[in-house]
Amino acid sequence: MSSTRRFPASLPIPGQIVAAFGRHFLVKTASDAALSCVMRGKKGGAACGDRVEIQLTAAGQGVIETILPRSAILYRSDVYREKLIAANVTQMVIVVAAVPSFSEELINSCLAAAENQRIKALILLNKTDLTEPTRAAVASLALYRELGYLLLEISAKTDVAPLLPHLQGHLSVLVGQSGMGKSTLINALIPAAERATAGISVALYTGRHTTTHARLYHLDENSRIIDSPGVQEFGLHYIDGEDLAWGFSEFHPYIGQCRFNDCRHGAEPGCALAQAVGEGKISRRRFDFYHKLAACRA
């Protein structure tokens, strides 16, 4: 049977998804064009950062034929659904700020997602120009520095230079709550991006996040960065009970050391994790949060 294709099939063109809007995508190819694409058939979802092969269908338009294997996929999920955030990222930048207040639980979840995908994570405390509230935020974030995570302090409004060396050679993704300043950072790094940003009161009043879709930007030849919509929760329903503990880097030395192989790290005797908490080697706050997450899937 002859093909019913309207355009003669040619070699697939490699590209990268730079924006994902449900079933519609923008794909950047080597020729620099951002092509408007749809997905062939009923393939699973694709995310910003996915490497794909496309077939041209008309000028400036194409069809995604293949999603190439991913080095990492960041997503969140609850009992009902999954939401892809970004693919192939090598680094997660968790953006927090003293105003509006940030959630330590969200930081813990983001870190666990990064650990699960074995990608680097760093915490960026933005809005340091708000000096008084920032002081308290620095104190509560000290825990993460102790855990070995890089904690950078910055003001997207005045100077983003301290962040630049850490973005070199990475595909980074900015994640965090709404209003932390992710898009403001993108605009400071890439003025041509012209990302919409919004006053906090507007965001809180409407209950809407300013950024609605992830978008990938090129910083230089080797460095790219994705701006993503703000999240209230980073659901980790897809990480099963046993893998969850690996999401907490300070637990690593104690995993497998409990008396019982199927230890739930609760009230069982001989729990190495509980003992480490007792000895001050694991923070009680993080351990309690681990249990809160684990309980959700029991």
Complex with Mg ion: residue 83 or 264, whichever CB lies closer: 83
Out of 16, 134, 155, 172, name the contact with ligand GTP by CB under 6 A: 155
Quick check: 227 and 211 in contact, CB under 8 A?
yes
Complex with ligand GTP: residue 49 or 181, whichever CB lies closer: 181
Quick check: 198 and 187 in contact, CB under 8 A?
no
* Site pattern 211..250 for ligand GTP (x: CB under 6 A): x-----------------xx--------------------
151, two tokens = 């904690």
DSSP state of 155: B
What's the min distance (Å) between Cβ of 242 and ligand GTP?
Answer: 32
Burial class (CB in 10 A: 0-12, 13-18, 19+), 131: exposed
Task: Find the binding residues for ligand GTP in span 243-262 (CB under 6 A).
Answer: none
Complex with Mg ion: residue 156 or 294, whichever CB lies closer: 156
Q: Which does 247 bind (CB under 5 to 8 A by kind): Mg ion, ligand GTP, Zn ion, none?
A: none
Mention every residue, 6+ apart, whose C-beta is less than 8 A from residue 261. none
Maximum Cα–Cα distance across the chain: 73
What's the min distance (Å) between Cβ of 67 and Zn ion?
Answer: 39
Chain Cα centroid distance, residue 66: 23
What's the min distance (Å) between Cβ of 125 and ligand GTP?
Answer: 10
Q: Which does 198 bind (CB under 5 to 8 A by kind): ligand GTP, Zn ion, Mg ion, none?
A: ligand GTP
Does residue 88 touch ligand GTP according to CB under 6 A? no
Does residue 203 touch ligand GTP according to CB under 6 A? yes
> Nearest CA to 149 among 98, 194, 193, 114?
114
Question: Which residues of this chain interact with Mg ion, rule CB under 5 A?
Answer: 182-183, 210-211
Mention every residue, 6+ apart, whose C-beta is less than 8 A from residue 142. 151
Q: How many binding residues for ligand GTP (CB under 6 A)?
A: 24
Cα angle, residue 120 at apex, residues 296 and 234 outer, rounded to 5°: 25
Q: Is the peptide bond before 253 cis (omega within 30 degrees of 0)?
A: no
What's the min distance (Å) between Cβ of 236 and ligand GTP?
Answer: 20
Out of 15, 181, 235, 247, name the contact with ligand GTP by CB under 6 A: 181
Complex with ligand GTP: residue 55 or 172, whichever CB lies closer: 172
Rounded CA gap, 66 and 289, in Å? 39
Quick check: 143 and 285 in contact, CB under 8 A?
yes
Name the site residues for ligand GTP (rule: CB under 6 A): 126-127, 129-130, 155-157, 178-184, 197-200, 203, 209-211, 229-230
